[in-house]
């Protein structure tokens, strides 16, 4: 099975802080699948490292108060294009991310609290009927 996967989960240093968030259980559980790494934020033109961002009222705001919505939308569209280009069957995304989070994301005021919601890319995939999982779902799904 071909799966689109958040690149940071596979050890690529593409997160906002210039680091990765490797999830050994992702690689172990999915070793028999073809993983296609993607970072929607980089695809949207954002640098690495970059200021942290959160979604507030449907807009992506950096900690400094800058609107980054356009870059997040562009990156989500490019990542969706890759999903289709590689004929993926599902996506494994980084939980809580303003791009990739599914079900819970940070609250938009940089308090560290989680609220119900989806990141821009995760929502775009869900709107297309794509099966979306996070690294927290892996032990129970695959």
Q: Give pTM, 2 decimals.
A: 0.94
pLDDT at 139: 61
Enumerate residues 6+ apart whose C-beta is below 8 A from 2.
Answer: 33, 34, 36, 86, 87, 88, 89
Q: How far is it, in rounded angstroms, from Cα 112 to Cα 35?
A: 30
pLDDT at 23: 83
> What percent of the chain lies above the pLDDT cut of 90?
89
| pLDDT at position 142 over 70 | no
Other CB atoms within a 10 A radius of the CB of residue 83 amount to 23
- Give tens-digit pLDDT for 23-51: 887 778 888 999 999 999 999 999 999 99
| pLDDT at position 118 over 90 | yes
């Amino acid at each position: 099975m071909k799966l689109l996967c958040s690149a940071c989960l596979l050890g690529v240093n593409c997160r906002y802080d210039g680091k990765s968030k490797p999830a050994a259980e992702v690689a172990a559980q999915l070793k028999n699948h073809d993983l296609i790494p993607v970072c929607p934020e980089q695809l949207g033109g954002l640098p690495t490292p970059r200021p942290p961002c959160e979604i507030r009222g449907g807009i992506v705001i950096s900690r400094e108060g800058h609107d980054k919505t356009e870059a997040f939308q562009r990156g989500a569209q490019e990542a969706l294009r890759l999903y289709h280009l590689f004929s993926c069957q599902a996506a494994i995304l980084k939980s809580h991310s303003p791009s990739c989070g599914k079900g819970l994301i940070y609250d938009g005021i940089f308090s560290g609290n989680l609220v119900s919601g989806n990141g821009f890319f995760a929502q775009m995939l869900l709107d297309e009927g794509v099966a979306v999982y996070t690294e927290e779902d892996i032990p129970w799904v695959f």
